[in-house]
Amino acid sequence: MVERTLELSEPLSFWGGVDPATGEIIDVHHPQLGENISGVILSMRSGRGSSSSPSVLAEALRLGHGPRAIVLEEPDPMVWLGAFVAELLYGIECPITIRGPLPTDS
């Protein structure tokens, strides 16, 4: 099975940036507006912003519209917390890994 990866060009706030009922990116200022995070390996530099983001990520995972896994360039405690809460409350895993910047990244 080939996993689909969605590489975001900008950080994403789950709060106000993702519809947890669909997985669609709804932030009108995000370059990937309209893309969907459901079931993908979501790759991005980091999350952005709000301490409410963990609840939206956990809810998206609970509803089956969260990412399968998340790859970050830098640690983000709010993204980690959302995945942790989903596993703790709902038994749904969303692994997170930190890859650091690629050698070709500036």
* Ordered structural domains, the chain, with CATH: 5-98 (3.50.30.10)
- CA–CA separation, 82 and 73 (whole Å): 17
Confidence of residue 3 (pLDDT cuts 50, 70, 90): confident
Percent of the chain with pLDDT over 70: 92
46 is catalytic: no
What local confidence, expressed as pLDDT, does residue 1 receive? 60
The one catalytic residue in 13, 43, 46, 50 is: 50
pTM: 0.90
User: Half-sphere exposure of residue 57, counting CA atoms within 13 Å on the CB side?
Assistant: 30
Q: What is the pLDDT of residues 29-54, one digit of tens each?
A: 999 999 999 999 999 999 987 789 99
